[in-house]
Structure 1
Amino acid sequence: MKLRVCVIGKPKLAYAKAGVEEYTRRLQRYGKLELLYLKEGIPVQEGQRLLEASEGYRRVVLDERGQLPDTLAFKARLEAWELEAEKGVAFLIGGAEGHTQAVRDEADWLLSLSKLTLQHELALVVLLEQLYRVETLKRGEPYHR
């Protein structure tokens, strides 16, 4: 199953760039990750770009109002979709203003990474780390302890 991460804007902060590079490199060995950086703009335009980039995929919209699963529940959700032979899962990360209601309405799952509001570049790093963690768990590798 393909994992597509659709993000508004490229990381500008040094720690975010380093984190994205690190976890993208780690995920490459599993060959499933596609990271798409989309142009920033007004929230309505950003939302339209996110929906277009995720067409045909299960949509996971990262939003502070979403469900707050633990890692094992996150893994179980992804594995269930994989068994259903879905084309893939697209994770949508909005820009600084977050998502419009129209994007949230199109979500197959609203996912929160924390009860805290996360800066969108940090949310990208946390998401990539969790995707890497899920991949290592599926293979019984010792990363998750």
Structure 2
Amino acid sequence: MNINLVVVGKLKEKYFKAGIAEYSKRLSRFCKFRIIEVPDEKAPESLSQAQMDEVMDKEGTRILNKISDKEYVYALAILGKERSSEEFAKELDKLTTYGHSDITFVIGGSLGLAPKVLKRADTQISFGRFTLPHQLMRLVLTEQIYRAFMINEGSPYHK
């Protein structure tokens, strides 16, 4: 099984890198886990709606270039469906049982995901209505993927 995170921008903070590295190492017994970074579009602080749409569109193209047709895609979106850890674990288990061996999660840039990325996604997932830094979201998502495997294994990790 392959699990990819396609993310916009580079991870800068050492403490996020360390946390993600730890969970990536733990995930290696369950799947091939990769993080694929695409460059963020440089833009001034204040943008018109048209400029924001253009930035999201360019980042969206970069994201879609990293996703094949056979991948099952989760787009992280505030308006996506919230799931409990148990529901998420069950969903991943069901996907792999029914032949989805390539699962990709997409985290957009600071402006969010382009409509074309949301359209390509098989489902949208939300971790609540909080706005979180994208770097922190990578860590939270990586931990939740690991937690899902541990739940499915019946491990006491999820207590």
Q: Name stretches of at least 5 consecutive residues in structure 1 with no aligned partner.
A: none
Corresponding residue of 2:4: 4
Unaligned 5+ residue runs, structure 2?
Answer: 42-54
Bigger Cα displacement from structure 2, 62-71 vs 81-90: 81-90
Q: Which runs of 4+ in 1 moved over 3 A?
A: none
User: What's the C-alpha RMSD, in Å, of the aligned pairs?
Assistant: 1.4
Partner residue, 1:102: 116
**1:87 shift after superposition:** 3.4
Q: Which residue of 2 aligns with 1:36?
A: 36
Residues 1:70 and 2:80 aligned together = no
Q: Report the counterpart of residue 49 of structure 1 in structure 2.
A: 62
Structure 1 residue 30 displacement after superposition: 2.3
Structure 1 residue 137 corresponds to structure 2 residue 138: no
Q: 1:71-86 maps to which residues of 2 (within 5 A)?
A: 71-86=85-100
Identity of aligned residues (%): 32
Q: Which has the larger radius of gyration?
A: 2
TM-score normalized with structure 1 length: 0.92
Deviations 1:74-120 (Å, cap 9, x if unpaired)?
A: 11111111111123110001111211111111111110012211111
TM-score by length of 2: 0.84
Which one of 117, 138, 144 corresponds to residue 124 of structure 1? 138
Which range moves more in the overlay, 124-133 or 43-52? 43-52
State the distance in 2 between where 1:136 and 1:84 align: 19
How many pairs align? 145
SS at 2:30's partner residue?
Answer: coil
Question: Could you report, residue by residue, the CA deviation over 1:39-72 in whole angstroms, capped at 9, with x for unpaired residues?
Answer: 2223212111212212220110001110010001
> SS of 1:24's equivalent?
helix
- Which is further off, 64-73 or 74-83? 74-83
Contact 2:3-2:31 within 8 A present in 1 as well: no
Q: Contact 2:8–2:107 (CA<8 Å) still a contact in 1?
A: yes
Instruction: Indicate the SS of the match to 2:128.
Output: coil
